[in-house]
Structure 1
Amino acid sequence: MLNFNYNIPTKIFFGEGKIEVLGKQIKKYGSRVLLAYGGGSIKKIGLYDKVVEILRENNIPYYELSGIEPNPRVESVAEGVRICRDNNIDFILAVGGGSTIDCCKVIAAAYYYDGNPWDLVIRKAKIEKVLPIGTILTLAATGSEMDAGAVISNMETNQKYGIGHSGMFPKFSILDPTYTYTVSKYQTASGVADIMSHTFEEYFSNEKGAYLQDRLAESILKTCMRYGRIAIDEPENYEARANLMWASSLAINGLLGYGKDSAWAVHPLEHELSAYYDITHGIGLAILTPHWMEHVLDENTIWKFVEYGVNVWNIDSSLDDMEIAKMSIEKTSEFFKSLDIPMTLREVGIDEHKLEIMARDVIDYVGGTVGNFKALDYEDVLSIYKKAL
């Protein structure tokens, strides 16, 4: 296990009715709030009214940013910064899923930067300071409610990049599983795939001494396997929604990656799909993951696939190692299919025309090879894209 420094400062309030702490928590960090949300689902479930009621009861002025996109745009970030500056905002409340939270994190960072917020995303400028933010989660998927990262899209340049800073950790997050009851079957499935992909990115590592982290990762994967279909078929099953919500947070809050040196591979490949075609992030990950697995499987990586197959899928350990590895990949694909996820790029409107451009963009962005479980060059990335068609 490698050395590491533990830092997960977000305070979590988990469970039904935990919104009761909202007013008190906001007052610890600010007095004038930007209330940010997406397409309006929070109004349909009554959450918007509850939040506004609490803000008014606590005499907290608030100003709204609505309509944040599923793949949040840099334009929404700029608009949020404008609202914050015009109204002397000192706290941002993100109510929604990962896209809303990600957008708010970058608004919080760009507030203190005079230039184009995109400069921060492409690392043309450094984040110096960040407004405090809090979240109320409505979708179990990205884990943004408990990490310091965000992903923002620029559709004019067909770019979708990640950005991170320790100041972007939410001060608090309210996780009430009942707020996910109305999430569609499609988005629930996409969220499960996203959680699993975050876990895979840390799990498939060359570090053999992080036994505890790997067992934690396997438990998160098994949680997704156990409750994914249940949440789709029984959307108001509290146990299923609660377990998936907590799995979402634990998959990417840093816990699984401590003691490892993991460089993610599938996420950079998917970001190009979203940047060019604006597809649902988790769906893109589900499509690409089995093909990435097949591509990186060789005599040097087979040990990890055997571990995965035996520990997660309960495959007979007495079988030949390569047979176990291939079965584990097949079972992964079958699981995603069982959630009714489309499993080819063509099914989500992507053909071969931009594959070479996207593959080149991946390599150009990372400045070399992608991932380090087995490093991928341009030809590797292009091959994975083609196999996923």
Structure 2
Amino acid sequence: MENFVFHNPTKIIFGKGTESSVGAEVKNYTDRILLCYGGGSIKKTGLYDRVISSLKENNIEYVELSGVQPNPRLSLVQEGIKLCRENNINFILAVGGGSVIDTAKAIAVGVPYEGNVWDFYIGKAQVKTALPVGTVLTIPAAGSESSNSSVITNEEGWFKKGLTTHHIYPVFSILNPELTYTLPAYQTACGVADMMAHIMERYFTNVKNVDLTDRLCEATLRTIINYAPKAIANPEDYTARAEVMWAGTVAHNNMLEPGRIGDWASHGIEHELSAIYDIAHGAGLSIIFPAWMKYVYKHDINRFVQFAVRVWDVDLSYTSPEEVVLEGIRRITKFFRSIGLPVTLRDANITEDRFEEMADKCTNYGKWTLGNFVKLGREDIINIYKLAK
């Protein structure tokens, strides 16, 4: 086990009706905010009205920024930064899923910075300070409601990059599983793949003697595998929705990371798919992760055997460790397909004509490698895209 520091400052407010407390929570920080959200769904469900009512009850003034898209865009971030500066705003409230929260975080670091906020995402500058962010979560998936990361897409060249800094942990996040009842089945499934990927990126590590976090990862994965189909089959099953929602937060709030060094190659490989083809991040991960597994499992076959047996209940009586591993990969692929996700690039109508371009982008044209479990170069990444066909 590696040395570690665990610190997560996000206050979680979980349960039925908890969005009614949003105004009181904001009041602890300010009386003037930027309200950031996506399309019209929060208005159709009545959530927008409840949030506005709570803000008004607490005398919170607000300026709105709507229109956040999946794979959130840099141009809207820059619009939000301008609004905050023009209106002397010092707090951002994100009401939505990971794209909305990531947009809010990007605005939060951009407002006090004199340069281009994209500098932080390409490593040209380091975050020194940020506005506080609060969230009302509507889509369990990215875990951004309690993480120190944000991912933004730059339309100039369609580059999708992530930022990690302790300055962007939300100060509070409100999680009401009832708010997820109206999610379409496909969106629920994409969220499930995203949170599973967050766990698996941490699970596949070269660090030895991390049994406690191994088992926490396995338990969280098994919870998702058990409850996700129930949430999709019966969207108003509160128990299933609650289990999935909390699992999504745990998957990416670093609780599963202490003492480990995660991999994160699959995320880098997938980011190029969703940047260029604008597919849902979770759908890209359900395609890439099984392909990555097929490509790297021989590096540590015992860890993959453990994954297959403990997470997917593969019987150890198979004729060889390799058969156990391959059966585990078949089962995760079958699970993704069973909840309506693509598992090949063909399923997503993605052809192979841009494999080299995507591999160039995620390795800075061959200058970088991806991943820690196995270091992957440009040709490795092309091969993984080919395995995903």
Q: Which residue of 1 aligns with 2:309?
A: 310
Which runs of structure 2 are paired with 1:117-132 in the superposition (5 Å)? 117-132=117-132
Looking at structure 1, the residues matched to 349 and 315 of structure 2 have their Cα atoms a distance apart, in angstroms, of: 38
Shift of residue 365, structure 1, vs aligned partner = 7.6
- 1:67-86 CA distance string (max 9 Å, x none): 01111100010010111111
Q: Which residue of 1 aligns with 2:196?
A: 196
Higher deviation after alignment, 364-373 or 118-127 = 364-373
Q: Which residue of 1 aligns with 2:257?
A: 257
Q: What's the secondary structure of 2:353's corresponding residue?
A: helix
Is contact 1:31–1:90 with CA below 8 Å preserved after alignment?
A: no
Is contact 2:266–2:285 with CA below 8 Å preserved after alignment?
A: yes
Q: What's the secondary structure of 2:354's corresponding residue?
A: helix
Is contact 1:193–1:283 with CA below 8 Å preserved after alignment?
A: yes
Which runs of structure 2 are paired with 1:183-332 in the superposition (5 Å)? 183-298=183-298, 300-319=299-318, 320-332=320-332
Q: What's the secondary structure of 1:372's corresponding residue?
A: coil
Looking at structure 1, the residues matched to 221 and 15 of structure 2 have their Cα atoms a distance apart, in angstroms, of: 22
Shift of residue 317, structure 1, vs aligned partner = 2.3
Is contact 1:15–1:175 with CA below 8 Å preserved after alignment?
A: yes
One-letter identity of the residue aligned with 2:236: E
Q: Which residue of 2 aligns with 1:17?
A: 17
Q: Which residue of 1 aligns with 2:8?
A: 8
Is contact 1:288–1:388 with CA below 8 Å preserved after alignment?
A: yes
Shift of residue 366, structure 1, vs aligned partner = 9.0
Looking at structure 1, the residues matched to 239 and 250 of structure 2 have their Cα atoms a distance apart, in angstroms, of: 17
Looking at structure 2, the residues matched to 68 and 366 of structure 1 have their Cα atoms a distance apart, in angstroms, of: 32
Instruction: State the aligned residue count.
Output: 388
Is contact 1:90–1:131 with CA below 8 Å preserved after alignment?
A: yes
Looking at structure 1, the residues matched to 3 and 310 of structure 2 have their Cα atoms a distance apart, in angstroms, of: 26
Looking at structure 1, the residues matched to 263 and 75 of structure 2 have their Cα atoms a distance apart, in angstroms, of: 29
Q: What's the secondary structure of 2:64's corresponding residue?
A: strand
Looking at structure 1, the residues matched to 30 and 203 of structure 2 have their Cα atoms a distance apart, in angstroms, of: 38
Shift of residue 287, structure 1, vs aligned partner = 0.6
Which runs of structure 2 are paired with 1:133-212 in the superposition (5 Å)? 133-212=133-212
Shift of residue 23, structure 1, vs aligned partner = 1.9
Is contact 1:97–1:138 with CA below 8 Å preserved after alignment?
A: yes
Shift of residue 291, structure 1, vs aligned partner = 0.7
One-letter identity of the residue aligned with 2:300: T
Shift of residue 346, structure 1, vs aligned partner = 2.5
Shift of residue 126, structure 1, vs aligned partner = 2.1
CA RMSD of aligned residues (A): 1.2
Shift of residue 4, structure 1, vs aligned partner = 0.4
Is contact 2:366–2:378 with CA below 8 Å preserved after alignment?
A: no
Q: What's the secondary structure of 1:151's corresponding residue?
A: strand
Shift of residue 120, structure 1, vs aligned partner = 1.9
Is contact 2:20–2:50 with CA below 8 Å preserved after alignment?
A: no
Q: Which residue of 1 aligns with 2:385?
A: 385
Q: Which residue of 2 aligns with 1:350?
A: 350
The TM-score with structure 2 as length reference comes to 0.98
Looking at structure 1, the residues matched to 367 and 129 of structure 2 have their Cα atoms a distance apart, in angstroms, of: 27
Please list every run of at least 4 consecutive aligned residues from structure 1 whose deviation after the TM superposition is greater than 4 angstroms: none
Looking at structure 2, the residues matched to 367 and 114 of structure 1 have their Cα atoms a distance apart, in angstroms, of: 29
Identity %: 49
Shift of residue 121, structure 1, vs aligned partner = 1.4
Shift of residue 349, structure 1, vs aligned partner = 2.9
1:28 aligns with 2:28: yes
Q: Which residue of 2 aligns with 1:90?
A: 90
- 1:229-250 CA distance string (max 9 Å, x none): 1111111110111001000000
1:39 aligns with 2:43: no
Is contact 1:72–1:99 with CA below 8 Å preserved after alignment?
A: yes
Q: Which residue of 1 aligns with 2:50?
A: 50
Looking at structure 1, the residues matched to 140 and 197 of structure 2 have their Cα atoms a distance apart, in angstroms, of: 13
Shift of residue 370, structure 1, vs aligned partner = 1.1
Looking at structure 2, the residues matched to 288 and 264 of structure 1 have their Cα atoms a distance apart, in angstroms, of: 12
Looking at structure 1, the residues matched to 238 and 252 of structure 2 have their Cα atoms a distance apart, in angstroms, of: 22
Is contact 2:23–2:56 with CA below 8 Å preserved after alignment?
A: no
Looking at structure 2, the residues matched to 189 and 108 of structure 1 have their Cα atoms a distance apart, in angstroms, of: 29
Is contact 1:30–1:90 with CA below 8 Å preserved after alignment?
A: yes
Which runs of structure 2 are paired with 1:364-375 in the superposition (5 Å)? 364=364, 367-375=367-375
Is contact 2:36–2:64 with CA below 8 Å preserved after alignment?
A: yes
One-letter identity of the residue aligned with 2:51: V
One-letter identity of the residue aligned with 1:305: F
Higher deviation after alignment, 156-165 or 360-369 = 360-369
- 1:166-192 CA distance string (max 9 Å, x none): 110000000000000011111011000
Looking at structure 2, the residues matched to 155 and 367 of structure 1 have their Cα atoms a distance apart, in angstroms, of: 23
Looking at structure 2, the residues matched to 194 and 33 of structure 1 have their Cα atoms a distance apart, in angstroms, of: 29
Looking at structure 2, the residues matched to 169 and 321 of structure 1 have their Cα atoms a distance apart, in angstroms, of: 41
Q: Per the alignment, do residues 366 and 202 of structure 1 end up closer, same or farther by CA in structure 2, a change over 3 Å counting? A: farther
- 1:11-33 CA distance string (max 9 Å, x none): 00000011232122111112211
Shift of residue 202, structure 1, vs aligned partner = 0.2
Looking at structure 2, the residues matched to 356 and 374 of structure 1 have their Cα atoms a distance apart, in angstroms, of: 20
One-letter identity of the residue aligned with 2:89: I
Looking at structure 2, the residues matched to 359 and 366 of structure 1 have their Cα atoms a distance apart, in angstroms, of: 8
- 1:143-171 CA distance string (max 9 Å, x none): 00000100000122120000021110000
Structure 2: gaps of 5 or more residues? none
- 1:239-290 CA distance string (max 9 Å, x none): 1110010000000111111101223110000000111111110000001111
Shift of residue 66, structure 1, vs aligned partner = 0.2
Looking at structure 2, the residues matched to 242 and 367 of structure 1 have their Cα atoms a distance apart, in angstroms, of: 43
One-letter identity of the residue aligned with 1:326: L
